[in-house]
């Protein structure tokens, strides 16, 4: 996909994920836990990870709509 849209050599998949993480965190609208879950990151604290199995689905739905709107605005 990156090649198809003309960004080969200028952007990577992880670069897009980094932009998403930064923009979503800086927006202040979403919990860091929901953002990390959306990015499918593992909990670094093993004890917390063993007990917190929340998926944050409602917040993640709202976050993805906000993200889609933000990307659309940027285009």
Q: 5: pLDDT confidence band, cut at 50, 70 and 90?
A: low
Average pLDDT, the chain: 90
What pLDDT digit, counting tens, does each position of 17-39 carry? 999 999 999 999 999 999 999 99
CB 2 within 8 Å of CB 13: yes
* Overall pTM > 0.85: no
Please count the residues of the chain: 75
- The C-alpha torsion from 14 through 60 and 25 to 38, rounded to 10°, is -30
pLDDT digits (tens, 9 = 90+) for 55-67: 999 999 999 999 9
**Which residues lie closer than 8 Å to 33 by C-beta, 6 or more apart?**
52, 54, 56
């Amino acid at each position: 996909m990156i090649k198809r849209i003309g960004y080969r050599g200028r952007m990577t998949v992880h670069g897009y994920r980094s932009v998403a993480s930064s923009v979503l965190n800086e927006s202040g609208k979403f919990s860091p836990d929901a953002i990390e879950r959306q990015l499918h990151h593992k909990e670094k604290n093993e004890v917390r990870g063993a007990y917190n199995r929340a998926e944050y689905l409602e917040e993640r739905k709202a976050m993805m709509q906000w993200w889609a709107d933000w990307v659309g605005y940027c285009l």
